Structure 1
Amino acid sequence: MNKKELLYGFLLGVLGTLLGSYLFVTLFTEYSFWIGFQIMKSQGALGKLITLGSIPNLVLFAVLLRLNKEQRARGVVFALLAITLITVLL
């Protein structure tokens, strides 16, 4: 197992989730990202925001599999699992 490729996939997964969350807040609310993030946190909807932000990772996963980058795709899945555990525990 190439751990460097797995790490790249993990970082891509985390960045994909952050980018998806940013796009969701800025496009679908009238707030800036930081204010929208704080409002979602105060309403207890942070888990929902992170879930919607993870949607771009599905596309990323499919593209990585299409390009035969299985280890990076596995890293994206590990990132999703880590983000899920952090969301549940917080």
Structure 2
Amino acid sequence: MEVRKIYKAGNSYVISIPKQVIKLLNLKVGDQILFKWQQDQVILTPIVKKNKIEVIRRIAGCLADQEELVQDLLEIRELESDREGTVLE
């Protein structure tokens, strides 16, 4: 347990996060944290951004033997991108 002081910076209040917590949660500069409060407690949860490359690899693995489905998806994407510039009245 550590005690930290609250500082004012512009219109915001700032609390530094102990190095042990940074390591424990594997946080880096620029990461986002969700603040959730319950009665008199605050719970901090790191927001984990999904790695786009990993998501693509997982999808590709699922579609490995689905060439027809992949072609259908590509056609749908083309149709949707053609409609993006269309203005509906």
What TM-score does the superposition give when structure 1 sets the normalisation length?
A: 0.29
Structure with greater proportional helix content? 1
Instruction: Please tell me whether Structure 1 or Structure 2 has the larger radius of gyration of its CA atoms.
Output: 2
More strand per residue: 2
- Higher RCO (C-alpha 8 Å, min separation 6): 1
